[in-house]
Each structure stands twice: as structure tokens, then as C-alpha cells.
Amino acid sequence: MEKILVGLKRVVDYNVRVRVRSDGSGVETDGVKMSINPFDEIALEEALRIKERGEAGEVIVISIGSSDVRQQLRTGLAMGADRAILVETDAQTDPLTSARILLEIIKREDPGLVLLGKQAIDNDHNQTGQMLAALWGRPQATFASELVLDGDQATVTREVDIGLESIEIDLPAVVTTDLRLNEPRYVKLPDIMKAKKKPLDQIPLADLDIEASAALNETAFAPPEERQKGIIVDDVAGLVAALQDKGLL
């Protein structure tokens, strides 16, 4: 396999407590630590391991967003990716638009495998990988907890409700990654310095002839209500009475 394409998304770091802006227009990001979406980081780690086994020649990371996203792409390069692509836009893109953008890059790069995180922790859509496979007309395997390549085929193990499921797909294909697939490596300082010399191409979204339109408009954001203090009852009769008071019985 010549190339593996890996999608990375910039999100609020999973260790940061998410706060809604005072005007309710969205999630507060000013002064907040931003990171690679954890599921995407797992996808990149798997691509790097495939390359280290000699089963791929090049790992390319791609992201969509403003110039700030270069920070996460540089982290991907520091992890070991060979080059990066930023499709630059200040507009928010929904999963379908993101899939269309990725398809245009696929047409240019012709990868043998596309790896994406199964979902992003900011919106939890879990849609982009499936939409991309449909638009591309290629097989898909979602929620991968194990990935084995054998020539022009891949065997993917998935966790389902009744246990484990193994499926075989022809390559090229789209695979989305789950938490149990691997543990991403730590980035070392020498690798960060080397990453600065690796190529990072920036492509304006307008050059792809795609509009960053959203099928759904988010009108307002609000934090969840504070959890109410619980009560202690003495016996079953007290429990039943309390539930009746709340209209639950």
C-alpha cells in the first residue's frame, strides 16, 4: 500500500471542563486547551504502526478548519506522519460537508486506506466515516478494535452488543477506530522539532468548489441543569411517597 490518509479534528481537550459562552452562542474556546480528537489520535497511531510494519509507504494527516488547526497537524507530524494537509475555512462544516471535502482529497492522493476516528468528542455525530464511504463507493468498517491487513484485503474486529464481530473488506476502504484499537504514543521534543520541517499544505476550501453549508443550524447552547440534591427515605413506603410526589408513579 502506498498511502494511508488519516483525518484529524481539532477539539477541546478531553481533560478540560466544557463551558458554554455567556451569550449562549456556543462552547467557550478562548484560552482553552485544544487537542486532536482522541479517536483520531488512535487512527493515526494505527496508521503509523502499519507503516512501521512495512505495509504502507506514507502516512498523510488531513484536517479541516482555520489556520489554528495547524497546531494539531504539527502534533500529528510529530507523532510520525510524513506530511499534512489543511483544508482551510473559518466556517463550521457538518459531517456531510466534511465527507465531501475528504473525498476531494482522496481523488488527489489516491490512498489505499482511510482511517478516521469513529466520532468526535465535541459533537458525537459518528457520521463522517460512513458518509465518506458511501460517497466514495468503497467498503467501510466502523468501530474497529483490531485491524489486520493482508494484501488487498483487511480484517476488522468490531465490538458489538453480543461480543466480537470480524468482517473482511476489500481495499481501498474507510475504517473508523474505537478506543480499544491501540494506545497512542507520546510525542517527544526531538520529534516536535523535526515536525517543523515536514510539509504542511494549505488548501482554501474555495479551491475544492465545495460550500461549507450546514444541514442543521445550531441556534442556542445551554449548560445542563445543576444536579439536585438527593433525599433519604426511611423505608419502602417513604420511597413510594417520594416518587408519587415527583409524579413518577
Q: What is the pLDDT of residues 75-89, one digit of tens each?
A: 999 999 999 999 999
Q: What is the dihedral of CA 83, 87, 89, 94, to 10 degrees?
A: -120
> Which grid coordinates are listed for 102?
475528504
**130 pLDDT higher than 90:** yes
For a pLDDT cut of 70, what percent of the chain falls above it?
100
pLDDT of residue 249: 80
Confidence of residue 41 (pLDDT cuts 50, 70, 90): very high
Residue 176 pLDDT exceeds 90: yes
Does this model's pTM top 0.75?
yes
Q: Average pLDDT for residues 187-206, to the nearest whole number? A: 92
What average pLDDT score do residues 103-128 get?
93
> Which CATH number belongs to the domain containing residue 218 in this structure?
3.40.50.620
d(CA 177, CA 42): 7
The number of domains in the chain is 1
pLDDT of residue 220: 81
- Conformation bin of residue 133: beta by default, left when phi > 0, alpha when psi is -120 to 50: alpha
122 or 25, higher pLDDT: 122
- In this predicted model, what pLDDT tens digit does every residue of 46-69 receive, in sequence order? 999 999 999 999 999 999 999 999
Lowest mean pLDDT among 94-108, 217-231, 233-247: 217-231
**Owning domain of residue 68:** 3-245
| pLDDT given at position 76 | 96
- CB contact at 8 A, 48 and 79: yes
Looking at residue 28, its pLDDT comes to 81
Cell numbers that stand for 187 in this block:
510525542
Cβ 117 vs Cβ 37: under 8 Å: yes
**What is the pLDDT at residue 15?**
87
Nearest of 165, 97, 139, 121 to residue 18 by alpha carbon: 121
Residue 248's pLDDT band (cuts 50, 70, 90): confident
Q: What is the SS3 assignment for 179?
A: helix
Identify residue 169 by its one-letter amino acid code. Answer: I
| pLDDT over threshold 80, residue 215 | no
- Is pLDDT at 24 greater than 90 in this prediction? no
**How high is the mean pLDDT of the chain?**
91
Q: Measured between alpha carbons, how far is residue 168 from residues 135, 149, 150, 171, 230 in Å?
A: 20, 10, 10, 10, 50
pLDDT tens digits along 138-166: 999 999 999 999 999 999 999 888 889 99
Percent above pLDDT 90 for the chain? 67
